[in-house]
Amino acid sequence: MISRLKTFVFTTLTLVLLLCVFGQVLLRYLTDAPIAWTEELSRYTFIWLVMLGAAEGSYRAGHFAIDLVTRRLEGRAARGYRAFLAGLEGVAYAVLAYSGAVLLPIVAGQTSITLGVPLTVAYAAIPVGFALMALVSWVRCARYFTARATAGFTEELAS
């Protein structure tokens, strides 16, 4: 269910972005009269794609990592260290989510120039994306304390 929802959201946002940019370029060169709202819509769509894509990358453990220490540890020490790092990562993401949420009341009364939508629609991508990343990190942290976290670091990245 969640996998299908993610696929639908990413596909829809990518399609909207593709159509807006392609239409904008096509109209600019064919008619020399571009549509003003497509640039703004593509910008907001791209912002949401980046933040949701970063959350998906966090879910798949696809973000870069320096694993020099992690590869040298084994057993309980490795699990404890990984749990600590995942928890710390979650705290950092939560701070960023909170910082993004602080921006929402600041832009609450403003609307975009061409679309006329509230700017909170675009700015909400920041706290939503970082909150999802924090949630993923804390779930990963909790799993290190369960039997499901006994696999090695490279096996974890592959799953």
Average pLDDT over residues 136-143: 92
Contact 127/104 with Cβ under 8 angstroms? yes
Answer whether residue 53 shows pLDDT above 60.
Answer: yes
**Distance from C-alpha of 97 to C-alpha of 133, rounded to nearest angstrom:** 9
- Predicted model pTM: 0.83
Answer whether residue 38 shows pLDDT above 60.
Answer: yes
- Residues 119-131 pLDDT 10s: 999 999 999 999 9
